[in-house]
Amino acid sequence: MSEVWIAIFLVVIVVINILGVRFFGEIEFWLSCLKVLTCLGLIILLLVIALGGGPTHDRLGFRFWQDPGAFKEYAEKARGLHVGGATGRFVSFLSVLVTAVFAYMGSELVGITFAECARPRQAIPKAIKLTFYRILLFYICSVLLLGMCVASNDKLLLGASGSSASASPFVIAIKNAKIDGLDHVINACILLFVLSAANSDLYICSRTIYGLAVAGYAPKIFAKTNSKGVPYYGIALGAAFCLLGFMTTSSSAADIFNYFVNVVSLTGLITWSCILFLHIRFMKALKVQGFDRKRDLNYRSPLQPYGSYISLAICIFIILIKNFTVFLGHDFPYKTFITGYIILPVFLIMLFSYKFIKKTKLIPAHQVDLDTYRDVVDAEEEEFALKDQEEKALREAQGNPKDLKWFYEKVFGWIF
Query: How far is the C-alpha of 335 from the C-alpha of 261, rounded, in Å?
Result: 13
pLDDT value for 251:
61
* DSSP 8-state code for residue 81: E
State the average pLDDT over residues 16-30.
83
Q: Distances from the Cα of 392 to the Cαs of 313, 338, 398, 402, in angstroms?
A: 47, 59, 10, 9
Q: Is residue 290 packed enough to be buried (19+ CB in 10 Å), middle (13-18) or exposed (0-12)?
A: exposed
pLDDT at 1 > cutoff 70 = no
Cα separation, 338 vs 336, in Å, equals 6
Predicted confidence at residue 163, as pLDDT, reads: 42
Within 13 Å, how many C-alpha atoms sit on residue 381's CB side?
12
Please give the residue that has the higher pLDDT: either 338 or 382: 338
Confidence bin at 165 (pLDDT 50/70/90): very low
Residue pair 201/216 in contact by the 8 Å Cβ criterion: no
* Average pLDDT estimate for 409-416: 58
Stretch among 104-113, 265-274, 295-304, 404-413 having the lowest mean pLDDT: 404-413
> What is the model's pTM?
0.78
Res. 415: pLDDT tops 60: no
What pLDDT does residue 413 have? 58
Average pLDDT (202-226) is 88
% of residues, the chain, pLDDT over 90: 12
Q: Give the mean pLDDT of 218-246.
A: 88
Q: According to the per-residue pLDDT averaged within each range, which of 45-49, 163-167, 299-303, 394-398 is highest? A: 45-49
The mean of the pLDDT values for the chain is 82
Q: Which residues pair with 82 in a beta bridge?
A: 75
Average pLDDT score over residue span 263-292: 89
At residue 222, the pLDDT reads 92
- Specify the higher pLDDT residue, 170 or 165: 170
Above 70 in pLDDT, residue 416?
A: no
Task: Pick 243 or 165 by higher pLDDT.
Answer: 243
Q: pLDDT by residue (tens digit) across 283-331? A: 999 888 888 888 878 778 888 888 999 999 999 998 988 888 888 878 8
Q: Which helix (H) or strand (E) holds 83?
A: strand 81-83
CA-CA-CA-CA torsion sign (198, 203, 206, 208): negative
pLDDT of residue 410: 62
CA distance 362 to 355: 10
Rounded Cα–Cα distance for residues 318 and 324 (Å):
10
Which of the two residues, 312 and 191, has the higher pLDDT score?
Answer: 312
**Confidence (pLDDT) at 61:** 86
Handedness of CA 158, 164, 167, 172 (dihedral sign): negative
Pick 179 or 401 by higher pLDDT. Answer: 179
pLDDT of residue 340: 85
Give the residue-averaged pLDDT of 268-279.
91
Given a cut of 60, whether residue 51 has pLDDT beyond it is: yes
> pLDDT tens across 328-368, in order?
878 888 888 888 888 999 999 999 998 888 888 888 888 88
Q: CA-to-CA distance for 99 and 104, rounded, in angstroms? A: 9
131-155 per-position pLDDT tens digit: 778 788 888 888 899 889 988 888 8
Which residue has better confidence, 9 or 412?
A: 9
